[in-house]
Amino acid sequence: MNILMVTSEAAPFAKSGGLADAVSALAGALKRLGHDVRVVLPRYYSVDKSGLEALPGPLGVPMGSGEQWSGVYRGILPGLDVPVYFIEHEAYFGREGLYGSRSESDYSDNPRRFSFFSRAAFQLCRKLGWVPDVFHAHDWPTGLVPVYRRFAEAGTEFSRSATVFTIHNLGYQGVYAKENFPYFGLPWELYHGAGLEYHGALNLLKTGLASADRLSTVSPSYAREIQTPELGQGLDGLLRHRSADLVGILNGVDTDEWNPATDKRLPARYSAADLSGKAQCKTALQKAFGLEERPDVPLIGMVTRLADQKGVGELFGPAHGSAVPICRDMDIQFVVLGSGDAWCEAELRTLSGRLPNFRARIGYSEDLAHLVEAGSDFFLMPSRYEPCGLNQMYSLRYGTLPIVHRTGGLADTVSNYDQDSGSGTGFMFDHLSPRSIYDTVGWAVWAYYNKREHVRGMIRRAMAQEFSWDRSAREYERLYSDALAAIRR
């Protein structure tokens, strides 16, 4: 099959979270299955042009009632042999941020930037003389891809191409003022007709959900949860309506990047059979974060965007969060690596100065992320909701037992400790609150000190878990075939 991934992120070129990891790894896995898969990405300033090849000639893209011109560069996903095309447009993408900056968290011209990009995907294929069987779009920035395919490209060479739209996060919908509609170059009847309308505004995610031939999200549990008012973020009705076309396909783990036995970023490597390297990583982690070097204290780690989705309010909220009582009442150490909401960054800095057993590093670092995964005993992920979540899967592979809210992908990948039999791979709670985080961390710490044999068994079980992208890619293959059968019927 010819498959085009239309995406605003792909590792290592442009990444704000797991979307980038997921898209690149999926593209690589589909390539291994023999498909002609290619990726198209905006050329943000942060993408270094020096290793890329410029394609000759400009690319004309219909916008509003006219046309805009851009350039195209070609590169390759490192190690995966997948071509990546970069759409270059100085006014739209010649800036540092992907979606916004420190001063403007969501660029006001995002509807123009991403409608242009979505439309450019089709023009790129024309330029290449390559017709995808499937346009696979991801999250709100590419929500217009199915709309363009269905309406603007209805009678063209793409009329037999199917569209698949994947929700990586329903919490970000791309909602903008209706006044932006004319940039899209679509007739006004599509404002309602293509599901763009949302409480008098434009909703790019919603239009993708309404218009794509098939829908998916990144775990089976999340696929069910988003059809309920509690986690449907206002779109549960539409998702229930499209239920027959929606599947949950669990993400995998990139085992070249995340394997404790071969991980070059670590000071020592290890396996389930010999965990001595993990103990060395723990010492290195304590040193790196300026904590007392104690081999026998339970060390709790976190690597996260500091956003409400991740449960940081319940954990670090200044008046009521559970982090302070956890650090005061329990003989533990706690390290956090993250960046995001300003209040939370400030609070983490304050706590690092106040609590002797708590240290946070504000910023983004792949090396430190690997060290936290390897050197911690437990990995805390109290997400309010979690479409899939990659860090708990990394943790399992690194023998770092996850402490998680039983939601979305966390529920699908972690199994709860049973203190009679010793079974399970982590510690789970059912309702997010400061109290439930406190109690569940306390439970894990209790097991660490009192049920050493159980914990050793859980580590072995966790490290044996397989989260393979090849399995996910086969499920996407089926989804693509379904989508194609539906439109070619």
Contact set with ligand GLC (CB under 6 A): 17-19, 22, 168-169, 218, 251, 386-390, 409
> 479: phi > 0 → left, psi -120 to 50 → alpha, else beta; which?
alpha
Task: Name the binder of 339 from ligand GLC, ligand ADP, none, CB < 5-8 A by kind.
Answer: ligand ADP
* Cβ-proximal residue to ligand GLC, closest one: 18
Is 21 a binder of ligand ADP (CB under 6 A)? yes
Task: Give the nearer residue to ligand GLC in terms of CB position, either 8 or 333.
Answer: 8
Given the complex with ligand GLC, which of 173 and 251 has the nearer CB atom?
Answer: 251
Give the shortest CB-106-to-ligand GLC separation in angstroms: 16
Q: Is 390 in the site for ligand ADP (CB under 6 A)?
A: yes
Q: For residue 359, give the nearest of 367, 349, 369, 368 by alpha carbon.
A: 349
Contact assessment for residue 278 and residue 375, using Cβ atoms and an 8 Å cutoff: yes
Rule CB under 6 A: choose which of 265, 305, 406, 451 binds ligand ADP: 305
For position 17 contacting ligand ADP by CB under 6 A, the verdict is yes
The listed partner (ligand GLC, ligand ADP, none) that binds 218, CB under 5 to 8 Å by sort, is: ligand GLC
Going by C-alpha positions, the residue among 420, 437, 427 that lies closest to residue 459 is: 427
Task: Please state, in angstroms and as integers, the Cα–Cα distance from residue 142 to each residue in 154, 298, 372, following that order.
Answer: 18, 43, 33
Amino acid (one-letter) located at 270: Y
- Choose the binding region for ligand ADP from 71-79, 191-199, 343-351, 382-390 (rule: CB under 6 A): 382-390
280 interacts with, out of ligand ADP, ligand GLC, none, CB within 5 to 8 A per kind: none
Total Cβ atoms within 10 A of residue 467: 21
Among ligand GLC, ligand ADP, none, the one that 365 touches (CB under a kind-dependent 5 to 8 A) is: ligand ADP
CA distances from 398 to 31, 260, 305, 444 (A): 27, 6, 20, 17
For 455, the token pair is: 């914990």
Q: Could you give the CA distance from residue 69 to residue 63 in angstroms, rounded to a whole number?
A: 10
**Which residues, numbered 319-378, are part of the site for ligand ADP (CB under 6 A)?**
337-339, 364-366, 369
Q: Which does 304 bind (CB under 5 to 8 A by kind): ligand ADP, ligand GLC, none?
A: ligand ADP
**For residue 402, cis peptide bond before it (omega within 30 degrees of 0):** no
Q: Which does 28 bind (CB under 5 to 8 A by kind): ligand GLC, ligand ADP, none?
A: none
Nearer to ligand ADP, 252 or 298 (CB): 252
Q: Find which of ligand ADP, ligand GLC, none residue 281 binds, CB within 5 to 8 Å per kind.
A: none
434 binds, among ligand GLC, ligand ADP, none (CB under 5 to 8 A by kind): none
Q: Which is nearer to ligand GLC, 251 or 333 (CB)?
A: 251
In the bound complex, what is the minimum distance in angstroms from residue 29's beta carbon to ligand GLC?
14
Cβ-based nearer residue to ligand ADP, 390 or 458: 390
What are phi and psi for residue 43, nearest 5 degrees?
A: -95, 85
Judged by CB under 6 A, how many residues of this single chain contact ligand ADP?
A: 18
Smallest distance, ligand GLC to C-beta of residue 111, A = 21
Neighbours of 436 (CB within 10 A): 17
The CA–CA distances, whole Å, from 489 to 160, 188, 482, 483, 484 equal: 10, 29, 10, 10, 8
Q: Nearest to residue 422, comparing CAs of 462, 392, 380, 456?
A: 456
Report if residue 304 touches ligand ADP, rule: CB under 6 A: yes
Residue 244: is it exposed, middle or buried by C-beta count within 10 angstroms (0-12/13-18/19+)? exposed
Q: Are 36 and 3 in contact (CB under 8 A)?
A: yes
Q: CB 251 → ligand ADP: shortest distance, Å?
A: 7
Contact 36, 1 (CB under 8 A): yes
Give the whole-angstrom CA distance, residue 219 versus residue 212: 19
- DSSP assignment of 244-305 equals GGEEE------TTTS-TTT-TTSSS---SS--HHHHHHHHHHHHHTT----TTS-EEEEEEE
288 interacts with ligand ADP by CB under 6 A: no
Nearer to ligand ADP, 116 or 379 (CB): 379
- Using CB under 6 A as the binding rule, the residues of this chain from 177 to 196 that contact ligand ADP are none
Does residue number 241 form part of the binding site for ligand ADP (CB under 6 A)?
A: no
- Shortest Å, Cβ 231 to ligand GLC: 12
Which tokens sit at 269? 């490597």
Tell which one of 391, 407, 440, 472 touches ligand ADP (CB under 6 A): 391
Read off the DSSP letter of residue 44: -
Q: Considering CB distances under 5 to 8 angstroms, the limit depending on partner class, which of ligand ADP, ligand GLC, none binds residue 305?
A: ligand ADP
Give bridge partners of residue 10 from the DSSP assignment.
Answer: 14
Spatial CA neighbour of 136 closest among 37, 65, 33: 37
Q: How far is the CB of 172 from ligand GLC (least distance, A)?
A: 9
Nearest-CB residue for ligand ADP: 18
Binder among 9, 10, 18, 152 for ligand ADP (CB under 6 A): 18
Determine, following the binding rule CB under 6 A, whether residue 296 of this chain makes contact with ligand ADP.
no
Residues that bind ligand ADP in the complex, under the rule CB under 6 A: 17-19, 21, 303-305, 337-339, 364-366, 369, 388-391
